[in-house]
Amino acid sequence: MTQTLTILGLESSCDDTAVGVVRQTGGELPEILASVVYGQAELHSAYGGIVPEIAARAHAEKLDLCVVEALRDAALTLGDIDAIAVTAGPGLIGGVLSGVMCAKGISAATGLPLIGVNHLAGHALTPRLTDAIAYPYLMLLVSGGHCQFLQVNGPDAFTRLGGTIDDAPGEAFDKSARLLGLTQPGGPAIENEARQGDPKRFRFPRPLLDRDDCNLSFSGLKTALLRQRDQIIAVKGGLTQKDRADICAGFQQAVVDVLSKKTQRGIRIYLRDNPAVPSFAVAGGVAANTAIRRGLETVCAENGVAFHAPPLALCTDNGAMIAYAGLELFKAGHRDGLDLMARPRWPLDKTSPAILGSGKKGAKA
Amino acid sequence: MTLLPNPLILAFDTSGKWCVAALLSGTRVLAEQVEEMTKGQAERLMPMLTEMLDGAGVTWADLAAIGVGTGPGNFTGIRIAVSAARGLALGLNIPAIGITACEARAFQAPSGACSAIPAPRDMVYLCRHEAPNAPPELMPHGQAQAFAAGKGLSLIAENSPQGLAEAIARIAAKRWQVPQPAPAPLYARAADAAPSRHTAPTMLD
């Protein structure tokens, strides 16, 4: 008998309130029946970053409405759904809690199974949702505050090959954009500037390239950008459009070089396992940057590894990826109780030693 | 829909250091539970509600409406209860009625009293019973006492979870048949957020 599964997915771990519906019949390519995303950019723009309390307030009054909208888009009712998947972490805990409680309410009311999904697993499994790529594959996950290389062996089996020891590139882009008076989110703003800039005029550091591993560091790069900016301002009293474009181009080139080089190392480690269909995928908001994508594509082509990058709308936060991750977990027999816990930190790789974060809150990655 | 003679209302609140719930059938309280806790409300609330319904021999589908405490109170706490109530209302296709802490405390308070919701740092949210639509006002405890005294009332700034869920249930029982807006947390205070301290560089051209 061929089984058809339809999963509802709720996501509220950062500044997007999102709900998706995904359906899969047997081993066919899964289908996204709805994906509703409400961003909060305008709520946070005055503060130069996401304010957790403001984000949580917006999620709490939007999530159920998003569920209604997604079901309407999919032309379904809750009676057509097989399970409720929800991001249970990691992320801004106020928003995660709102999502988890809303999902628990729907689950209790309907009797539908509840599945807590790791937000990062949502991103990491997206290449299977869009391209049906086979396990194991190598993944560069660059979502918000996260940046790590993962070997994805199954829906709940991840090996971390390396990751950032401080900032993620997404944070570096946002902070750098702020230092240059550009709009948020910083990624698209810097990419846009960089297009007109000369990447060779300013030389920015490539941290940790001397280390033969997959770990990365981006906070020094941001500081170098601040120094370069202040040097120019000290001389001229401000920046010209060209100065700014050149800084952006140099900064972006440094990020491209670091990510490309470390991807090369990740591929080398991954290929030791002799995967049948060597595949690399990049997901997360930073994967939307064309220069970064091109750099990674080149490395993959040179190493005979298939390159996958899900479409932009599925690289940024969305509910469809949570629904899909929930679908894989559901098929693997995973269920959660109504005591499901929301977790601000939740490393995907449960065995590798922590490289970032410690103390009471535990490891971040 | 036929109206049952004794509609079942489930009410709950996690706006403070507690998880409380009550099940009302008509005017009769079938069950009430008060659990004090400083954290863990998000994990405890739904299992507690399930246990309460099981204990009373009823199911989720028997409910006519949900009543939920909307604060003021702990920001995360009021979101926990409100989000659960909205999820339940959606899944059961029944109304969820938001009841403010001021409404609940006024219901509990004896006449001749003015209520206030304790807030951190010896502040209170003063409830304006004379102006039911006015939002509660955050002020020092002493100022609220002076306000009440000026009106010849005693100030009750009680923060006990006892009777809170029953009060919410009884108020919700009076309202649920009239269409109500979806419950929303009553924060009564803006989010703490400072504008960005980074100044953009001067552009020369």
Q: Which amino acid is at A232?
A: I
pLDDT at A351: 77
pTM > 0.90: yes
Please report which confidence band the pLDDT of residue A48 belongs to, taking 50, 70 and 90 as the band edges. confident
Chain A interface mutation, best of B49, B75, B86, highest count of A Cβ atoms under 10 Å: B86
Q: Is residue B2 part of a domain?
A: no
Average pLDDT for residues A9-14, to the nearest whole number? 96
In a domain, B193, yes or no: no
**Domain for residue B152, yes or no?**
yes
Alpha-carbon gap, residue A111 to A89, rounded angstroms: 23
The backbone torsions φ and ψ at residue B22, rounded to the nearest 5 degrees and listed phi first, read: -145, 145
pLDDT at position A191 is 96
Mean pLDDT of A244-251: 97
Average pLDDT, stretch A246-253? 97
CA distance A251 to A229: 12
Number of domain units in chain B = 1
Residue A143 has what pLDDT?
A: 73
Which position has the higher pLDDT, B75 or B193? B75
Residues A12-28: pLDDT tens digits? 999 999 999 999 999 89
**pLDDT of A289-321, one tens digit each?**
999 999 999 999 999 999 999 988 898 899 999
Which residues in chain B have Cβ-Cβ distances shorter than 8 Å to A105? 46, 83-91
Q: Is the dihedral of CA A249, A251, A255, A258 positive or negative?
A: positive
Q: What is the pLDDT of residues A193-223, one digit of tens each?
A: 999 999 999 999 998 888 889 999 998 999 9
- Flag whether B103 is in a domain: yes
Question: Are A283 and A141 a contacting pair, CB within 8 Å?
Answer: yes
Mean pLDDT calculated for residue range A224-246: 95
Which stretch of A75-89, A100-114, A118-132, B152-166 has the lowest confidence by average pLDDT? Answer: B152-166
Cβ–Cβ gap A104/B202 under 8 Å: no
Smallest CA–CA distance, residue A72 to chain B, in Å, is 13
- Within-domain flag for B116: yes
pLDDT tier at A1 (50, 70, 90 boundaries)?
Answer: low
Angle at A156 between CA A152 and CA A161, to 5 degrees: 35
Cα–Cα distance measured from residue B175 to residue A146, given in angstroms and rounded to the nearest whole number: 47
Q: How many Å apart are CA A19 and CA A3, to the nearest integer? A: 23
| B202 contacts in chain A (CB < 8 Å) | 233, 237-239
Residue-averaged pLDDT of chain A: 93
Chain A contact for B182 (CB, 8 A cutoff): yes
- The mean pLDDT of chain B is 92
- Among A172-186, B83-97, B150-164, B190-204, top mean pLDDT goes to B83-97
Q: What percent of chain B has pLDDT over 90?
A: 74
Pick the residue of A43, A45, A72, A98 with the most B CBs within 10 A to test the interface with B by mutation.
A98
In eight-state DSSP terms, residue A336 is: B
Give me the residue from B83, B90, B201 closest to A98, CB to CB: B83
Structural domains present in chain A? 4-128+314-331 (3.30.420.40), 135-310 (3.30.420.40)
**Measured between CA atoms, how close is B14 to chain A, in angstroms?**
12
pLDDT computed for residue B2 by the predictor: 46
Check the CA dihedral B35-B37-B39-B40 and report its sign: negative
Query: Which structural domain, as residue segments, surrounds residue B151?
Result: 8-175
Point out the residue among A53, A98, A240 whose CB comes nearest to the CB of B205.
A240
Q: Which residues of A touch B80 (CB under 8 A)?
A: 97, 101
- The interface pTM score, or ipTM, of the predicted complex is 0.95
How many other C-beta atoms are found inside a 10 Å radius of the C-beta of residue A359? 6
Predicted pLDDT at A303: 97
The secondary structure element, H or E, covering residue A161 is: strand A157-163
Indicate whether B1 pLDDT > 50. no
Q: Identify the residue whose tokens are 């941001």.
A: A222
pLDDT at A38 over 80: yes
Which residues on neighbouring strands pair with residue B140, listed in sequence order? B123
Residue B155 domain-assigned (yes or no): yes
In this prediction, residue B4 has a pLDDT band, given cuts at 50, 70 and 90, of low
Q: Give the model confidence (pLDDT) of B25-68 as tens digits.
A: 999 999 999 999 999 999 999 999 999 999 999 999 999 999 99
Average pLDDT over residues A35-55: 89
Point out the residue among A67, A78, A104 whose CB comes nearest to the CB of B84: A104
Q: Per-residue pLDDT for B182 more than 50?
A: yes
Does residue B3 have a pLDDT over 70?
A: no
**Helix/strand/coil percentages in chain A, nearest 5:** 45, 20, 35
Residues A171, A216: contact at Cβ < 8 Å? no
**Residues forming beta bridges with residue A194, ordered by sequence position:** none
Q: Which helix (H) or strand (E) holds A106?
A: helix A93-110
**ω into A344 cis (within 30 of 0):** no
B48 CA to chain A: closest CA distance, Å? Answer: 10
User: Is residue B200 in a domain?
Assistant: no
Instruction: Quote the pLDDT of residue B76.
Output: 97
Give the pLDDT score at B163. Answer: 96
Inspect the interface and report whether the beta carbons of B202 and A107 lie closer than 8 Å.
no
Residue with tokens 């940057």: A289
Q: Stretch B96-116: mean pLDDT, rounded?
A: 90
Rounded CA-CA distance B153/B146 in Å is: 10
Tokens matching residue A27: 């081993």
Q: What is the CATH number of the domain that holds B19?
A: 3.30.420.40
Spell out the SS3 assignment of chain B: CCCCCCCEEEEEECCCCEEEEEEEECCEEEEEEEEECCCCHHHHHHHHHHHHHHHHCCCHHHEEEEEEECCCCCHHHHHHHHHHHHHHHHHHCCCEEEECHHHHHHHHCCCCEEEEEEECCCEEEECCCCCCCCCCEEEEHHHHHHHHHHCCCEEECCCCCCCHHHHHHHHHHHHCCCCCCCCCCCCCCCCCCCCCCCCCCCECC
Q: State how far the Cα of A6 lies from the Cα of A77, in Å rounded to an integer.
A: 11
Largest Cα–Cα separation, chain A: 74
Share of chain A above pLDDT 70, in %: 98
